[in-house]
Structure 1
Amino acid sequence: MKAYENLEKNYISGEWRNGNGTTTYEVTNPYNDEVLQKIKMANKEDIDEAYNSAQQAQKEWENYNPFERSSIMEKAVEIMEGRREEFVEHLIREGGSSHLKANVEIDFVIAITREAASFPLRMTGEIVPSLVPGKENRIYRSPLGVVGVIGPFNFPMYLAMRSVAPALAVGNGVVLKPDEQTAVTGGLLLAKVFEEAGLPKGVFNVVIPNIEDIGDAFVEHPIPRLISFTGSTPVGRHIGEICGRNIKKVALELGGNNPLVVLEDADLDKAVNSALFGKFMHNGQICMALNRIIVHKDKYNAFVDKFVEKAKKIKVGDPREEDTLIGPLINRKAIDRILGQIEEAQKQGAEVVLEGKVEGNVMHPYVLTGTNDVATAQNEMFGPVATIISAESDEDAIKIANDTPFGLSGAVHAGSPERGVEVAKQITSGMVHVNDQSVNDEPLIAFGGEKDSGLGRFGGQWSLEEFTTVQWISVQTEERESPFHTNYLE
């Protein structure tokens, strides 16, 4: 199987071509700074053409036989399964993924696309009783039209496909703007997959613009009826404001400050192992990653000791080596930001009980102890930094867990599932996992956050709802009496 080529071009109107912008972006390997691609970036005219292309192709795509649309999605799954090793290599080189993380990401991508393949056959209508005699109420489900998707750099392929696959499957046109740092894995590989799968030209477009050149044009454009954004809360708030002003739907999956609560009857070793996975998977660059570990005071010292001991043994370095678990962060700016937060937390009374080191863009694990008020607990680290906090009781742990504007994911370790669930129900978060860690995603389950962590839900029937709309059509089968009926008029 020949590897995909032309991965330095935008994909607009079914054609691979350079953008019309004035800048060229160099996609680099964050581990060794190797230049991987040089992409001539798109401008406002390219975005306009992409949206118009999606709109023009969408009606025909919507009218495809549902079994044919489903077949194209299944073909995309088959292609990705066959190209797994190729995609894993791209994820390692472009985003600094470990082998473990890259394979988990491909699993997620395949799973959500396979689930989306069922959507064309689930676009069912409904007949609902009426209060009015002789009336039949019909509810029809249909695609929105065109959807704009903005993806992030951390799980670029999956967090794009999580919106792209369901939106396409139900009959929408889609324009995707990946993060330029992961333009290949976050967008161009997906375009290659759907092109190979036989998706009609123009239905799916990928543009890589310079934000300084286009401003808010991608979101403000009049054609898309929904903007799906995964990224930071400040940017998500800005996008939400634009969509509200322009009466567009918006799906936002934003930042997190995710807690792990360890109760006094929890199995300590299992809790430590969960915490290591939930904190250091993909270097902590996951919206669901643990940020704060809240431990009952009776287990606190033992937990800290075990956690630090095991964190020291994690292999850090070159992500090309299969046993590496922590590789590079996405860029040096991320490291400088994190080091600044650690310094601020120390000034606020936090103690560094495991001091990592920085080698290029690679950061070894840092572990701090302190209160929920220190900078590393208040702010999403998005890196391999854990803050461990002592709690006096279940109630105190719940209070600490909720003392944040975020509410994306979390976890509770307890001696019994029932006790864990009772605590989990009191944590204001879209997702909480009992006797597990916070990094969970499944294609059939509602994924999304509360508070500043976003709006909407992805996965299964919730994605079907997000990317479609419904229309009420009533049919009056018997003449309806009215005060304006001729019998009442002279």
Structure 2
Amino acid sequence: MQTTTTFRDWSRQYIGGQWKIGNSENTYLNKNPFDKSILVKMPLANLEDVNTAYQEAKAAQKKWQETSAYERSALLKKAAELLANKRDEIVGILVSETGSSFAKAQAEVDLSIADLTEFASLPIRMTTETVPSVVPGKENRIYRLPVGVVGVISPFNFPLYLSIRAIAPALAVGNGVVVKPDLQTFISGGLFIGKLFEEAGLPKGLLNIVVADIAEIGDAFVEHPVPKVISFTGSTAVGRHIAQLCAKNLKRVALELGGNNVMIVLDDADVEQAASAAVFGKFLHQGQICMSLNRIIVHRNLYDEFVKVFSEKVAGLRVGNPVDPNVFIGPIINQNQVDKIQQLIDQSIEQGANVVTRGNVTGTLMEPVILTDVTNDMAIAQNEIFGPVAAILPVSSEEEAIRIANDSDYGLSGSVFSGNLDHGINVALQIETGMIHVNDQSINCESIIPFGGEKSSGLGRYGGDWSLEEFTTLRWVSVQREPRPFPF
């Protein structure tokens, strides 16, 4: 598979509807994570660029808010159509820039098209409610309005989708948007989307993409006075910091953070089905997904059989250059992440984990690792791995499985396998998490479903009416239709 894009064309910021060279003296080399080849050299944005982007979004937003709901809806539908037509181009970018497998890249495009299509309905759903008043002759109206300008900070792992997930609903309901994509994936997570909406006919200035290094701009993107809502997807540590900044500046914040997701395999589960689901939920995109399985908790009655079937399935996964459509496991995003994963593995082995499989590591390419007899206090179970490492924990009872599942600061996604669906649902409802799936793996996403976590996995929800809530505000306007008597 070959990309249809010329990467050197992606070297300008998108600010105020113009493609501009960043004003920073610093540059960034965007590299293919598999072979380290340079895709493009990017002159970065500085504080001046960030300010300009926010001011442009603010200036363009008022007119956009007054635009017909049907016009805004049509524009998002056009963007979805264009994305479908550009599928080969963006799949090529995702493979080269993010190390995505062909299957993962295709799924990411599908999810993005689905979100654009779903959020095209939001303008029509911004209804005004009229309610009675206790005051004679008064009418109460409750208007749903855009917040103004939204700042979006998106991650490297699903950059296209996790940017569109916030950009599309924010624009649909009448906001201006400024996006700071992850440096490592600024094309698929930012510039490509800017170009997409430009071709769809979005008015200039409404969507701005600033490619900047946090070391240079610091907290300015969050603390700038223009944005009223900050949407962040990324690590819990950074999310906590952003939440503190937003609280200090009285901004609203939507956070989708890390996960330490479990699959619980109960003693009546179908081992074959559970193992198949676990392989997908663990190793899709090398485990670099916030919803990836981090801990696989298996009842001892099935433990040996599960480990055997799971290991056989993992042995069949192809590892290598993701330009090969048959490759399922491609590179880790950078060498620092590889080193971190290796340290967690080594530490867990020292703590008593047994190695069933530990493949070779060549640069950023890691072959699958399977650790058994893991306990919940081991490093591999306590930390979000974000790599192709399966930690399998044995338990002696359902109660122990639930206790271990909840013994985590995180609560994003999860999975329960049981031969009795009603019983599986009962167990699922006892897990402290925002999302959980019975007889399926943990990586699920649908445009009309509330997506988000509990505890240290985030605040707020994305998707459907929940995105409408995140990116709008309510205003009470009362209308006194008859003169109201006053005591003076």
Q: Give the alignment's TM-score, normalised by structure 2.
A: 0.98
**What is the match of residue 93 of structure 1?**
96
**What is the match of residue 413 of structure 2?**
409
Which of 128, 150, 153 aligns to 2:153? It is: 150
**What is the match of residue 454 of structure 2?**
450
**What is the match of residue 440 of structure 1?**
444
In the TM superposition, 1:326-345 aligns within 5 A as 326-345=329-348
Which of 280, 289, 304 aligns to 1:277? It is: 280
Matched, 1:301 2:304: yes
**What is the match of residue 467 of structure 1?**
471
- Give, in angstroms, the shift of residue 10 of structure 1: 0.6
Matched, 1:107 2:105: no
Between 1:438-447 and 1:366-375, the stretch displaced more is 366-375
Give the Cα separation in 1 of the matches to 2:5 and 2:288. Answer: 28
Give the Cα separation in 2 of the matches to 1:480 and 1:3. Answer: 66
User: Which SS does the other structure have where 1:147 is aligned?
Assistant: strand
Unaligned runs of 5+ residues in structure 2 are none
**What is the match of residue 422 of structure 1?**
426
Give the Cα separation in 2 of the matches to 1:71 and 1:451. Answer: 38
- Give, in angstroms, the shift of residue 131 of structure 1: 2.9
- Give, in angstroms, the shift of residue 3 of structure 1: 5.2
Unaligned runs of 5+ residues in structure 1 are none
**What is the match of residue 381 of structure 1?**
385
- Give, in angstroms, the shift of residue 371 of structure 1: 0.6
- Contact 1:176/1:206, CA 8 A, preserved across alignment: yes
Alpha-carbon displacement from aligned partner over 1:17-65 (angstroms, at most 9, x marks no partner): 1110111100000011110011000000000000000000000111111
- Contact 2:5/2:92, CA 8 A, preserved across alignment: no
Between 1:130-139 and 1:370-379, the stretch displaced more is 130-139
**What is the match of residue 264 of structure 1?**
267
Which of 107, 121, 125 aligns to 2:124? It is: 121
- Contact 2:60/2:176, CA 8 A, preserved across alignment: yes
Matched, 1:23 2:23: no
In the TM superposition, 1:244-259 aligns within 5 A as 244-259=247-262
Counterpart code for 1:217: A
User: Which SS does the other structure have where 1:101 is aligned?
Assistant: helix
Say how many residue pairs are matched: 483
- Contact 1:6/1:16, CA 8 A, preserved across alignment: no
Which of 371, 391, 396 aligns to 2:395? It is: 391
- Give, in angstroms, the shift of residue 478 of structure 1: 3.6
- Give, in angstroms, the shift of residue 476 of structure 1: 2.5
Matched, 1:174 2:172: no
- Contact 2:180/2:209, CA 8 A, preserved across alignment: yes
In the TM superposition, 1:51-70 aligns within 5 A as 51-70=54-73
In the TM superposition, 1:149-228 aligns within 5 A as 149-228=152-231
- Give, in angstroms, the shift of residue 326 of structure 1: 0.2
- Contact 1:226/1:248, CA 8 A, preserved across alignment: yes
Which of 300, 314, 318 aligns to 2:317? It is: 314
**What is the match of residue 52 of structure 2?**
49
- Give, in angstroms, the shift of residue 342 of structure 1: 0.5
- Contact 1:284/1:382, CA 8 A, preserved across alignment: yes
Counterpart code for 2:418: A
Counterpart code for 2:448: L
User: Which SS does the other structure have where 1:89 is aligned?
Assistant: helix
- Cα-Cα RMSD: 1.1
Between 1:65-74 and 1:103-112, the stretch displaced more is 65-74
- Give, in angstroms, the shift of residue 129 of structure 1: 2.3
Identical aligned residues as a percent? 55
Alpha-carbon displacement from aligned partner over 1:356-379 (angstroms, at most 9, x marks no partner): 210121101101111111100100
Give the Cα separation in 2 of the matches to 1:98 and 1:138. Answer: 50
Give the Cα separation in 1 of the matches to 2:222 and 2:27. Answer: 22
**What is the match of residue 74 of structure 1?**
77
**What is the match of residue 372 of structure 1?**
376
Which of 131, 138, 142 aligns to 2:141? It is: 138
Counterpart code for 1:271: A
- Give, in angstroms, the shift of residue 479 of structure 1: 4.0
